[in-house]
Amino acid sequence: MIQEFGAEYAYDNHFEPCEPGEKDYVLHFRDRGCLTRVTHVGGSDADAGDSGEVIDLPRLADYPRRPSRVTYLFSLGEERLFLALDDSLPVPAGFSYESVNWLRHAEPQHLLFAAATASQLDRWYRENRFCGRCGHPTELAPSSREIVCPECARIVYPKICPGVIVAVVSLADDPADDRIVLTRYAGRTTALWALVAGFTEIGEPLEGTVRREVMEEVGLSVKGLRFYKSQPWSFTDTLMAGFWCEVDGADALRVDHSELKEARWFRRDEIPLERTSDRASLTGEMIERFRLYGRGAWGD
Ligand SMILES: [Zn+2]
């Protein structure tokens, strides 16, 4: 998944006030694009299995001038990353603004994670330039990751929205006939088969989100909820919690066509292979685990 990469790039989110050195990464975003240098590798040789896009992110030394507003983000192993909140920053040679969502297809994974996570913090900084209580311009707290209002002392913390990903399965007498519900969203250009998913509502526990979303999207009751893993999904300011559960009672799907294009039951051998190379998402991992291991997917 997106947060799973080499231990040499261990994520350390502890905030410390510091200034970037010439070799530190300084990320910059414009119109939801991340300043990136993209290199295409392979591809000319049909046997080359590793063709694709390799990305690098800008370091302080790459910029023609020093950014005016920079805050510390986090570190990945020995690498320190900062964020420039300087809208007039000139673009360094060889770099361009690339959609963070597009970067999901690129390597290396730790820099994809860095760009996605930094983009979430960049949105948070930009969307809280004024106090939501009194309207006064806000400031960055000097020694913590907080935005503060100097007028009314309001403190704003980074926005993280919980949500769930739900694999609903039906277990048969013969494990070869075990099935899983896959869904496809309506109105999206990249509509891969996915799992039931949705955001947690105010006052709702995660288990409640699971039961409500499954009922709303495909009209099923479920039982035997098992938490699997969670995943930060910075593209939508989300922390996703993945659950396995079994259909409880009637298994006829009643699809919510306002949200979904379609939904249906798949036996393991019917599951499309379109997710097998999806290394980033919890959805992809859960679908692939069920395809490979069936009811062993959620075992120890
Ligand atoms: Zn205020």
Distance from residue 126's CA to the centre of ligand 1 (Å): 16
Question: Residue 154 Cα, ligand 1 centroid: separation in angstroms?
Answer: 5
CATH of domain 161-294: 3.90.79.10
According to the model, what pLDDT value does residue 271 have? 94
Q: How far is the CA of 129 from the centre of ligand 1 (A)?
A: 11
Model confidence pLDDT, tens digit, residues 23-47? 999 999 998 899 999 998 876 544 4
CB count in 10 Å sphere of residue 28: 26
Q: In this predicted structure, what is the pLDDT of residue 276?
A: 76
> At 106, is the pLDDT very low, low, confident or very high (cuts 50, 70, 90)?
confident
Task: Name the residue ranges covered by the structural domains of the chain.
Answer: 7-127, 161-294
Q: What angle do CA 289, 290, 293 make, to 5 degrees?
A: 75
Can you tell me the mean pLDDT for 213-226?
Answer: 97
CA of 150 to the centre of ligand 1 (A): 7
What is the per-residue pLDDT for 48?
A: 42
pLDDT for 206 equals: 98
pLDDT score of 89 more than 50? yes
Res 71: pLDDT: 96
Alpha helices (H) along 198-294: 206-218, 282-293
Residue range 135-163: average pLDDT? 96
- Rounded to the nearest integer, the mean pLDDT of the chain is 92
**Whether the predicted pLDDT of 188 surpasses 80:** no
Query: Quick one: average pLDDT of 201-223?
Result: 97
Q: Are strands 147-148 and 196-199 parallel, antiparallel or unpaired?
A: unpaired
Q: How confident is the model at residue 225 (pLDDT cuts 50, 70, 90)?
A: very high
Give me the half-sphere count of Cα atoms (radius 13 Å) on the Cβ side of residue 133: 11
- Confidence at residue 279, expressed as pLDDT on a 0 to 100 scale: 74
C-alpha distance from residue 157 to each of 125, 149, 249 (Å)? 10, 12, 43
Residue 124 Cα to ligand 1 middle (Å): 16
Q: How many helices (H) and strands (E) does the chain have?
A: 3, 17
- The upper half-sphere exposure of residue 21, i.e. CA atoms within 13 Å in the direction of its Cβ, equals 4
- Given a cut of 80, whether residue 167 has pLDDT beyond it is yes
Q: How confident is the model at residue 104 (pLDDT cuts 50, 70, 90)?
A: confident
- % residues pLDDT > 90 (the chain): 78
